[in-house]
């Protein structure tokens, strides 16, 4: 009987895995195809206790011991979640307790708590060997109060005078701000970018800037390091023409982040604000630009905490928000610990070392499924984006690339919602990839879609295959044979 059970499982497994989805052709790999895992080096993984000089895991304002070796050790972990790129918090030398990386006191050396330049280079090499890209965050607008330039009278012209707060980054507020319109400052920062690129072989920079940054810095950096393979994007929105002309590859869309957080931290009756941001960017920019989208970015309160404050289950809220993040146009950037999900209690610095033994299985599975879908279906990374329905908390979007069409349905309401889709061709079916359901065409030509409260699904549109009677009959026959064999063995045993 055991042999029969094994045979049955093998047959069913082969049959199940033989049912494949045909995806549109995608011959090259662009930045818009990537899924980025963003991490804070100090709070991620301690891979080398030899550079704990010192650390205090009980003090939220001190170094906790994470380092570059720890990132290297956990590259497989990140890859298994489905991410194709990692973004590191600043690793340049910082003043005392600058665990976050924003109190730079030397732009051209690695913070001793994190390791050495050789470790940084090895991290990039290890990532590349796993077909993963590496982005470094590069703070270009501020330096630490302890930076030698601050007390150097010859560098007085390198700094701006006192001005209104020009950054939303808590750790940079009140720091000396560089005058990036000065040729000497611009030259030094440009040379520094080239230095890190040459020394480590990284794939791109996220430029951490203030709203006072001079746009000429972007042009200088673009001329020095930018290429089709090297990414250059910024956390603040550059001038429109710099984006449209490709001087800067893209930007971290703060409006998107604010809106996705406010939309999904609790149930709502409309997702219209999110689609409005997409339309505004389409009207504002031309050319091939990349919008980098995140829910948490390490400089604001964790989304987990926001949903808890609102009195809602953060797991449910995360599943909906992540579905939109990974299926809407742009490059998804997920903050480390989302899979747990981490809660900072409202204090952005109060995050302990990452606990790799703890994660929420529902969130982790949703992340793995969404990253896998982005890899398999080009429509989710390169397709156009059209809103089909947005009412009562239920939104339905369509993405099309070549002959591949996907629908994304998100019900952010506290009640079941139903809508009818009338834009699809006849004799199609909507096959759900998250909920495993199938929606078929009705007699009136529409496709009736019902979504339970606070759920989401992603559908692949394909020809209606109807019921696979051959498969059903075969499975029924195998099960019948199994039952017959078990009965025969039972009778034989009783006779004996």
What is the H or E stretch that residue 458 is in? strand 455-463
Q: Which residue has the tokens 């809220």?
A: 317
Q: What is the pLDDT of residue 467?
A: 55
Q: So what's the pLDDT on residue 473?
A: 54
* Gap between the Cα atoms of 18 and 482, Å rounded: 22
Query: Would you say residue 204 has pLDDT above 50?
Result: yes
- Does residue 363 come out as left (phi exceeding 0), alpha (psi in the -120 to 50 range) or beta? alpha
475 pLDDT more than 80: no
**Digit-coded pLDDT (tens) for 257-276:** 999 999 999 999 899 999 99
Cβ pair 389, 414 in contact under 8 A: no
Q: In the chain, pLDDT over 90 holds for what percent of residues?
A: 77
Reported confidence tier of residue 488, pLDDT bands at 50, 70, 90: low
Strand order in the sheet with 428-432: 386-391, 394-401, 404-411, 455-463, 428-432, 438-440
Residue 85 has pLDDT above 70, yes or no: yes
Q: Work out the average pLDDT over 446-459.
A: 98
pLDDT at 12: 45
- E strand intervals along 35-142: 36-39, 85-88, 92-94, 104-110, 133-139
Task: Report the C-alpha gap between 438 and 87 in whole angstroms.
Answer: 37
Confidence at 22, pLDDT banded by 50, 70, 90: low
Lowest mean pLDDT among 79-83, 193-197, 475-479: 475-479
Question: What are 249-259's pLDDT values in tens digits?
Answer: 999 999 999 99
pLDDT of residue 13: 43
- pLDDT (tens digit, 9 = 90+) per residue, 393-402? 999 999 999 9
End-to-end CA distance of the chain: 17
pLDDT above 70 coverage of the chain, percent? 88
pLDDT at 298: 86
- The answer to whether the beta carbons of residues 206 and 234 sit under 8 Å apart is yes
- Mean of pLDDT values over 281-306: 90
CATH of 386-463, picked from 3.40.50.300, 2.60.40.1180, 2.40.30.170, 3.40.50.11290, is: 2.60.40.1180
Of 170 and 137, the structure prediction assigns the larger pLDDT to 137
Over residues 180-208, the mean pLDDT reads: 97
* Tokens 């979007």, located at residue: 397
Whether residue 14 is predicted with pLDDT greater than 50 in this model: the reply is no
pLDDT at residue 61, as a whole number: 93
CB 75 within 8 A of CB 370: no
Q: What is the pLDDT of residue 454?
A: 98
| pLDDT, position 6 | 43
Judge whether 306 and 261 are in contact, CB under 8 Å: yes
Q: DSSP letters along 143-189, please? A: --TT-GGGG-GGGGGGB--S-S-----GGGTTS-BB-TTSHHHHHHH
Residue with tokens 């953060």: 314
* Residue 169 vs residue 108, higher pLDDT: 108
Determine the angle formed by the axes of helices 2-17 and 469-495, rounding to 10 degrees: 170
Higher-pLDDT residue of 69, 346: 69
> SS3 breakdown of the chain: % helix, strand, coil, rounded to 5?
40, 20, 40
Q: What is the pLDDT of residue 237?
A: 87
Look at 148 and 289; give whichever has higher pLDDT: 148
Q: What is the CATH number of domain 34-378?
A: 3.20.20.80
pLDDT, residue 65, reads 97
pLDDT at 29: 85
pLDDT per residue as tens digits for the range 33-63? 999 999 999 999 999 999 998 999 999 999 9
Identify whether the C-beta of residue 367 lies closer than 8 Å to the C-beta of residue 338. Answer: yes
User: CA 114 to CA 40: how far, in whole Å?
Assistant: 11
Is residue 130 within 8 A of residue 203, CB to CB? The reply is: no
- 182, pLDDT greater than 80: yes
Q: Indicate the pTM of the whole model.
A: 0.89
* pLDDT confidence of residue 492: 61
Arithmetic mean of pLDDT, 9-31: 55
Is the predicted pLDDT of residue 161 greater than 90, yes or no? no
pLDDT at 165: 56
34-378 shares its CATH topology with 386-463:
no
CB proximity list for 261: less than 8 A, separation 6 or greater: 295, 303, 306, 321
**Average pLDDT of span 364-378:** 98
Write down the mean pLDDT value for the chain.
90
In this prediction, residue 465 carries a pLDDT of 81
Domain ranges within the chain, ordered by starting residue? 34-378, 386-463
Q: Reply yes or no on whether the pLDDT at 279 is more than 80.
A: yes
């Amino acid at each position: 009987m055991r042999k029969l059970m094994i045979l049955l499982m093998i047959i069913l497994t082969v049959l199940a895995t033989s049912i494949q989805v045909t995806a549109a052709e995608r011959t090259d790999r662009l930045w818009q195809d990537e899924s980025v895992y963003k991490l804070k080096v100090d709070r991620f993984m301690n891979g080398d206790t030899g550079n704990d000089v010192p650390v205090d895991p009980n003090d939220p304002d001190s170094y906790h011991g994470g380092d570059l070796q720890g990132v290297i050790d956990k590259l497989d972990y990140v890859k298994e979640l489905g991410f194709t790129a990692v973004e590191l918090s600043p690793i340049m030398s910082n003043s005392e307790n600058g665990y976050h990386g924003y109190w730079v006191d030397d732009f051209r050396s690695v913070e001793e708590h994190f390791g050495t330049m050789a470790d940084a280079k090895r991290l990039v090499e290890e990532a590349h060997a796993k077909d993963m890209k590496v982005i470094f965050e590069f703070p270009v607008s501020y330096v630490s109060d302890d930076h030698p330039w601050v007390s150097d009278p010859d560098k007085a012209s390198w700094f701006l005078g006192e001005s209104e707060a020009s950054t939303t980054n808590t750790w940079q507020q009140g720091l000396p701000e560089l005058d990036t319109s000065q040729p000497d400052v611009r030259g030094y920062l440009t040379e520094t970018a080239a230095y890190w690129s040459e020394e480590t072989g990284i794939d791109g920079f996220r430029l951490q800037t203030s709203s006072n940054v001079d746009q000429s810095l972007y042009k200088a950096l673009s001329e020095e390091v930018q290429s089709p393979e090297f990414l250059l994007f910024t956390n603040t929105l550059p001038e429109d023409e710099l984006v449209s002309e490709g001087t800067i590859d893209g930007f971290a869309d703060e409006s998107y982040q604010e809106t996705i957080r406010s939309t999904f931290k609790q149930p709502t009756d409309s997702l219209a604000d999110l689609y409005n941001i997409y339309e505004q960017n389409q009207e504002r920019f031309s050319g091939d630009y990349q919008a980098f989208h995140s829910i948490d970015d390490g400089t604001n309160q964790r989304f987990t905490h926001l949903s808890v404050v609102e009195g809602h289950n953060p797991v449910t809220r995360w599943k909906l928000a992540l579905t939109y993040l990974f299926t809407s146009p742009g490059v998804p950037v997920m903050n480390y610990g989302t899979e747990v999900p981490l809660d900072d209690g409202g204090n952005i610095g109060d995050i302990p070392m990452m606990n790799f033994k703890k994660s929420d299985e529902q969130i982790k599975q949703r992340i793995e499924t969404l990253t896998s879908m982005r890899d398999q279906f080009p429509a989710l990374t390169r397709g156009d984006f059209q809103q089909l329905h947005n009412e009562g908390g239920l939104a339905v979007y369509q993405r099309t690339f070549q002959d591949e069409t996907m629908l994304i349905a998100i019900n952010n309401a506290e009640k079941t919602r139903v809508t009818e889709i009338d834009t699809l061709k006849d004799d199609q079916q909507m096959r759900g990839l998250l909920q495993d359901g199938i929606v078929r065409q009705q007699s009136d030509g529409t496709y009736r879609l019902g979504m339970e409260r606070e759920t989401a699904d992603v559908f692949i549109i394909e020809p209606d295959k109807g019921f696979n009677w051959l498969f059903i009959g075969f499975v029924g026959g195998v099960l019948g044979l199994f039952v017959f064999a078990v009965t025969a063995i039972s009778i034989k045993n009783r006779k004996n």
